[in-house]
Amino acid sequence: MPAKVPIKKSPAPPKAAPSKPAPPEPAAPPQPAEESGAKAPDNPAVIPETPAPVTEAPAADSSSPAAVPENPGGDAPVPENPTADAPVPENPTADAPEVPVVEPAPEPVKETPPPKDEPPSAPGNLTVDGIDATSLSLRWKTPETEGTFAIDGYLIEYRKEGSEEWVPANKEPSISTHYKISNLNTGDKILARVKAISKAGSSDPTALEHDVLIREIVDRPKIRLPRYLRQTYVKHVGETVNLVIPFQGKPRPQVNWTKNGQPLDPKQANVRNSESDTILFVRKAERKDSGVYELTVQIDDLEDKAKIDIKIAERPGPPKSIKLVDVWGFNAALEWTPPVDDGNAEITGYTVQKADKKTGEWFTVLENYRQTNCTVSDLIIGNSYLFRVFSENLCGLSEKAAVTKDAAFVKKQENTYKPPEYKECDFAEAPKFTQTLTDRTTTNGYTTKLYCSVRGSPKPKIVWMKNQMEIREDPKFRSLVNQGVCSLEIRKPCPFDGGVYTCKAINSLGEATVDCRLNVKVAQ
């Protein structure tokens, strides 16, 4: 069912000054509908009245609002808002007044609320940066997320042990990520926290893990790690590990050792501490003593750490296998696989040796060789050789070596000359002109020549013809053949010597012909 819209009433107009009411006029008698010729209204309750004359009211003051008569229509009172209090009939001729239809109000549009401003995340890694008799210095990291707005700064608060009240250390947000809380009392235990502030609000606080004792620290804890311990410290199995590491700090700091993040086993290593140094002692080192040792010196929340990488190594085992791959000329090819046990250290190379079976003495061929295959050269023809390979790490060569099972015998090469065999090539070819004759024009009485070139095997015979007639022994014509170039000289030609000249090459495989036209002009 649609909700009805409430209709507000308009305020009543201000009352005007009282005026004398007009005298009522006598009402006219009702006329029957037949006589007046007008149809009587269906609703007798609604009878139009003759408007009464309105008496002009005296003019009101210019400062007051315009006067409006309270009842301009007669004796009946006029409602303040006629459209709201009394329904207006849609059809005045209807029998009964109808109730006005109230249209349903449109459903209000639900507006999506604007996104809520997100404050920054909590600062990270709040640590103590310094302590003295009356102050505490803190340091932290910026939040991972800033939220909706940029960070305006940080608020630092602290409380004393046994109190629940957090006291602000700074009135205005600190822009820096470190702050010093001053005016503290010596001997108090203080717990501090920090919050990031932006326009969207403050973040969750980040507090110290435990209370900090406010006291004078004359010297901050500091480890003075020797230079030789700043890289991997290597000892052989069975040797003694005795590390003396000095440190400083006043009052005396607390010293703590760990191995690979776990507390030291007193059965494997002993620790002795003094006011100025600490000693890590292992009487007989084993490979399981290898690892990363971490030293921590701490005064309250101030600490210093140092890591020492200790490696207990021994000689590696020999290569797993070795194989003689090939022997040729003065050379032998070897191949092997890395050792199974590297001695808890990286394999730095291999040493390859050879021995003549006649003498049995070993000679080093390659040292610090990093690949797992090689070629041994300069072997003596007719001798047999054995080979062996040692693996090597920072502790030295392996105690044993991998030796080849089979000896490499260098055979003597037989130098027997065999002449090369050549296949006979057939150069036989039918005649073929590589350069044809070209048409020419000459002048009467001037000697001219015709040229062409031919090849063929066996050497072809050259025949010249004029107008399909073979030119025989005629002193006017001279035919020459030089390295396949054929020429025909015509001495002092006349117009009668013009015509078609043909050169024919003939051998046992065939023949070929070319021709041209010669024109002889008469000089004028």
Would the pLDDT of 441 be above 50? Answer: yes
**Is there a shared CATH topology between the 124-213 domain and the 429-521 domain?**
yes
What is the reported pLDDT for 97? 55
The edge-to-edge listing of strands for the beta sheet with 331-336 is: 322-328, 331-336, 373-376
Report yes or no: 59 and 97 within 8 Å, Cβ to Cβ. no
Query: Do 134 and 214 touch, CB atoms closer than 8 A?
Result: yes
The confidence score (pLDDT) of residue 105 equals: 64
Chain-centre distance for alpha carbon 82? 77
In angstroms, the CA 196 to CA 151 distance is 7
CA distance 311 to 235: 6
On whether the CB atoms of residues 162 and 190 are closer than 8 A, the answer is: no
Give the per-residue pLDDT at 200.
Answer: 87
* Tokens encoding 283: 């009487």
pLDDT at 375: 93
Q: Does domain 429-521 have CATH number 2.60.40.10?
A: yes
Paired tokens of 118: 């997100």
As a whole number of angstroms, the distance between CA 391 and CA 319 comes to 6
Class (C level, CATH) for 124-213: mainly beta
User: What pLDDT is recorded for position 100?
Assistant: 62
Structure tokens at 332: 């032998």
pLDDT of residue 301: 78
Instruction: Give first-to-last CA distance, the chain, whole Å.
Output: 132
Higher pLDDT, 38 or 143: 143
pLDDT tens profile 68-95: 344 444 444 444 444 444 444 454 444 5
pTM: 0.42
Domain edges within the chain: 124-213, 219-313, 322-409, 429-521
Give per-residue pLDDT as tens, 468-505.
999 988 889 999 999 999 999 999 999 999 999 999 99
442: β partners: 520
- The predicted pLDDT at position 153 comes to 93
Cα–Cα distance between 144 and 507 in angstroms, integer?
A: 101
**Residue 28 banded pLDDT, cuts 50, 70, 90:** very low
193: buried, middle or exposed (CB in 10 Å: 19+, 13-18, 0-12)?
Answer: buried
- Six token digits for residue 87: 């329904």
* Distances, alpha carbon 307 to alpha carbons 73, 85, 220, 253, 299, in Å: 107, 93, 19, 18, 19
Confidence of residue 217 (pLDDT cuts 50, 70, 90): confident
Q: Which residues contact 201 (CB under 8 A, 6 or more apart)?
A: 117, 119
AA letter at 44: P
- The dihedral built from the CA positions of residue 28, 30, 36 and 41, taken in this order, carries a sign that is positive
Residue of higher predicted confidence among 116 and 41:
116
**Separation CA 389–CA 370 (nearest Å):** 12
The Cα–Cα gap between 517 and 316 comes to 98
Q: Which one, of 214, 243, 211, 242, lies nearest residue 227 by Cα? A: 243
| Fold of the 322-409 domain | Immunoglobulin-like (2.60.40)
456 token code pair:
């063929």
| pLDDT confidence of residue 400 | 92
CA angle in degrees (0–180, nearest 5) for 301-302-305: 115
365 versus 52: which is more confidently predicted? Answer: 365
Band (pLDDT 50/70/90 cuts) for residue 421 is confident
Quote the tokens at residue 431: 């005649």
Q: Is 393 left (phi over 0), alpha (psi -120 to 50) or beta?
A: beta
Parallel, antiparallel, or unpaired for β 262-263 and 349-356? unpaired
Over its C-alpha atoms, the chain yields an Rg (Å, rounded) of 63
The residue with greater pLDDT, 106 or 408, is: 408
Task: State the Cα–Cα distance between residues 4 and 218, nearest whole angstrom.
Answer: 82
Residue 98 has pLDDT above 90, yes or no: no
Q: Place 453 in a pLDDT band, splitting at 50, 70 and 90.
A: very high
Considering only 105-109, 124-128, 512-516, which range has the smallest mean pLDDT?
A: 105-109
**Is pLDDT at 457 greater than 60 in this prediction?**
yes
CATH placement of domain 219-313:
2.60.40.10
Q: Quote the pLDDT of residue 130.
A: 83
DSSP at 188: -
Structure tokens at 47: 């009878």
Q: In the predicted model, what is the mean pLDDT of the chain?
A: 81
267 sits in which H/E element: none
Q: In whole angstroms, what is the distance from residue 398 CA to residue 86 CA?
A: 119
- Percent of the chain residues past pLDDT 70, beyond the cut: 78
H/E stretch holding 85 reads: helix 82-85
Q: How far apart are CA 243 and CA 273, in angstroms?
A: 12
Structure confidence by residue, pLDDT tens digits, 382-391:
889 999 999 9
Residue-level pLDDT at 122: 92
Give the pLDDT score at 411: 83
What pLDDT does residue 102 have? 62
- Which position has the token pair 């305006």? 152
pLDDT tens-place string over residues 258-275? 999 999 988 889 999 998
- Cα(200)–Cα(221) distance, integer angstroms: 41
The pLDDT score that the predictor gives to residue 438 is: 93
Closest by CA to 329, choosing from 449, 415, 396, 203, is 415
Cα–Cα dist 447/438, whole Å: 17
Q: DSSP letter at 114?
A: P
Q: How many residues does the chain have?
A: 524
pLDDT of residue 226: 92
